[in-house]
Amino acid sequence: MRDRVVVITGASSGIGAALAVLVGEKGARPVLVARRERELNEVAARSGPHALALVADVTRRADVERVVAVTIARAGHIDVWINNAGRGITRSVAELTDDDFDEMMRVNVKSALYGMQAVLPHFKTRRRGHLINVSSVLGRVPIAPVRSAYSAAKHALNSLTANLRMDLRAAFPDIHVTTVLPGVVATDFGVKALGGGPDSRALPGAQPVEEVAEVIARVIEEPRADVYTRPVYRELVARYFGAEDLGAVEGQPPFVQAPVSPKPPAT
């Protein structure tokens, strides 16, 4: 990890901020990317003496290309690129508008595509590098239908990630491509979702953001193709896709919540 140049999008809060601080503590040179300058600089101040904050909107291809160019100019190269920026939604499929769907694809898929395409030429020239896309368990299993278009976007991101990995496999074996799949994480993701929503930090079993950052840091040091931030998520996905009838699994917890027993009448 020491001296590796690690670019992290969505680094002004949540997973990205925790990861920037952690890799900085491990001796890496984090490059923090987000739109909010004040928050970004505050995180950078806690991310080690070599942290670099770059204000950019990763839904704009030109901004992403600028981040690549500035990072290489200042740090000399890029070792790891982490597409972490994202946003949720709180709307069922029946309620989605065109703008809702476009926003989910723009923030969760196109921003990552821009990052992949911008950094790949540099990785290919060096014949090494590590690209990490932070996805979601919702990109594998429909355990939160209200996240509809977010789930669809993460499915798309998973597919792009796997296809890129296969594209590079033969000619560039030292360019690693990883999907990281968290579940519910204790951040402000829920309240900042399009359409609002419950605070993820208050949900039962929400994973501390530091745990997720540790998982990503480990995969930087020991690259793997596909990583769940908790073993239970892998087991859930295997159970779902291993079933003969997906509908039968979808009728069981955690896909549906167990009914709450009514309180006995007061006596």
Active site residues: 150
Residue 5, token pair as written in the block? 């140049």
- How far is 94 from 72, CA to CA, in rounded Å? 45
Q: CA-to-CA distance for 182 and 41, rounded, in angstroms? A: 26
Could you count the other beta carbons within 10 Å of the beta carbon of residue 95? Answer: 13
**Nearest CA among 110, 93, 104 for reference residue 9:** 110
- Residue 145, class by beta-carbon neighbours within 10 Å (0-12 exposed, 13-18 middle, 19+ buried)? middle
CB 178 within 8 A of CB 168: no
User: What is the distance between the alpha carbons of residues 110 and 87, in angstroms, rounded to a whole number?
Assistant: 12
The order of strands in the sheet holding 5-9 is: 52-55, 29-34, 5-9, 80-83, 129-134, 175-181, 226-228
